[in-house]
Amino acid sequence: MASTTKITVKPRSYAKILLHAAKYPHCKVDGLLIGKLSNNGRDALATDAVPLFHLGHGLTPMLEMALSQIEAYAESQKSSIVGYYQANEQLSESHTPDAFAIKIADKILSCNKFCSLIMVDNRKVSLSCKNDALVCYANAEGKWKQDTQYSLEHSEETLSTLAKLMTNKAYKNLNDFDNHLDDISADWTNVKVNKLIAEAH
């Protein structure tokens, strides 16, 4: 089953993915993209990103709980889960999806009938934020292949916004599900970070 043929990532989604990676530069980090579908479910607009883990990769009960809560949250926003993102911990690993990333993307695809797999190219991550650091993969005939249809909305402005956020260390305010499991008051919807992104835009 094919996933979306095109995904467009909005500034908030992009910023939160890179802020998550910046907060835990020596860890593998991952999360989900939520957004809206168009073109009969073939295209997606990723309006937000929800950071999942920096420690708990592969722990099924935690993942299942997170997926359930995020799916309910997406529905409350009249959206759905449209993708999965991951940044590998090793620079040399670059943007190659590992077995875990493929497993989660397959799971989302089987449940939602669409999913984009987004990888962070660590070689393009810097404080200056001059280059789009995301690489998108789409499922074609059961295999995940690099997708040239991916686009970053307002790319120059978005990269400039992220540079401001990095300089101001906005990533210190970002919470993922690992943080939430340690402290129930840690807001994984990241309302505070969303506000910082809007102010920097």
Instruction: Please state, in angstroms and rounded to a whole number, the distance separating the CA atoms of residues 67 and 60.
Output: 10
Which residue, 129, 137, 36, 156, is CA-closest to 86? Answer: 137
100: left (phi over 0), alpha (psi -120 to 50) or beta: alpha
CB 107 within 8 A of CB 68: no
Tens digits of residue pLDDT in 32-69: 999 999 988 889 999 999 999 998 666 678 888 999 99
Is-above-0.75 flag for pTM? yes
- For the chain, how far is it from start to end, CA to CA, in angstroms? 37
Q: What does each C-alpha distance from 184 to 7, 78, 150, 151, 187 come to in angstroms?
A: 32, 25, 35, 35, 8
Six-digit token string for 163: 């540079």
Q: How far apart are CA 38 and CA 156, in angstroms?
A: 25
Each residue of 89-133: pLDDT tens digit?
876 666 888 899 999 999 999 988 789 999 999 888 888 899 999
Quick: pLDDT tens for 136-190: 999 988 899 998 789 999 999 999 999 999 999 999 999 999 999 999 999 999 9
| Local structure of residue 125 (DSSP, 8 states) | -
